[in-house]
Structure 1
Amino acid sequence: MTSTKQNPHELRTALPELPCDDAGPTFKAPWEAQAFAMTLALHERGLFTWTEWAEYLNQAIHDAQAAGDPDRGDTYYVHWLTALERISAARGWVKGDLLLQRRDEWDAAARRTPHGQPIELGR
């Protein structure tokens, strides 16, 4: 099992488009950091290699571009989340219908949450 703390070069090599500064990955919103952290945790547990992850992420970006994403760099973590959902479904860690249900629940919760407030499910 490879840890990104032990080998940050592997992460940057596999994911050259990853938004970073000198301190490491950069995030515009908490959910981006959470998606990144979940991916790292799964990788550190040996559930996939960075090469496998990069293939899923590349496909998510390619699919978004084919659907009209203008690729201005502001949707990178949307693609990251798509890749995380896809690898999770492909590996059987989560069922596709559960993913859709949870996505709908988050969307509804986000719409009813005032700007700047934390989104809460189950209200």
Structure 2
Amino acid sequence: MNRPEAVASVPGLEDPVFAEPWQVEAFAMVVALHEHGLFSWSEWAEVLSAEVHRADAAPDGHDYYEHWLAALEKLLASRGLAPAEEVDALAAAWERAAHATPHGRPILLENDPERQAR
């Protein structure tokens, strides 16, 4: 069993806790940043709650970890640690790298065609 499968399955639960490996990573980042004192748990809960209760949130909650990630991005931006423009630029670079990476190969930012053109 690989790491995401181990973390994503909890004995006694029918469904995995995390549907995708990125959700495990987002969860772990929030816990680690909280443990390092970047924000209090009540502060995190407030920001996450605002995201989860947005008007465009899925009624069935299938987008929960997308809201989790958005809340994390907002907290990091509010602290000046990861401004939204930088996060958006990095996400776009990763997306371009993903499309430029052959199937089955690791996605590396170096594969971003725009980065290679510099």
TM-score, normalised by the number of residues in structure 2: 0.71
State how far apart, in whole Å, the 2-side matches of 1:23 and 1:87 are: 33
Match of 2:85 in 1: 97
Q: Return the alpha-carbon distance in structure 2 between the equivalents of residues 61 and 48 of structure 1.
A: 19
- Helix, strand or coil at the partner of 1:122: helix
Matches within 5 A, 1:43-54: 43-54=34-45
Percent identical: 45
State the structure with bigger RCO (CA 8 A, min sep 6), 1 or 2.
1
Q: Structure 1: any 5+ residue segments left out of the alignment? A: 1-18
Which residue among 52, 58, 71 is the counterpart of 1:61? Answer: 52
Aligned to 2:4: none
* 1:74 counterpart = 2:65: no
Shift, 1:53, TM fit: 0.3
Q: How does 1:10-29 map to 2 (within 5 A)?
A: 21=10, 26-29=17-20
Which sections of structure 2, spanning at least 5 residues, go unmatched?
1-7, 112-118
TM-score (norm 1): 0.68
Larger-gyration structure (1/2): 2
Q: Number of residue pairs matched?
A: 102
Q: Residues 46, 28 of structure 1: CA spacing in aligned structure 2 closer, same or farther, 3 A cutoff? A: same
| Aligned equivalents of 1:49, 1:110: Cα separation in 2 | 34
Per-residue CA deviation, residues 59-118 of structure 1 (Å, 9 max, x unaligned), is: 11223xx13x33322211111000000000001111221111012122223344566664
Distance 2:106 2:59 in 1: 28
CA RMSD of superposed structures (Å): 2.7
AA in 2 matched with 1:31:
W
Change over 3 Å in CA distance of 1:20–1:32 after alignment to 2: same
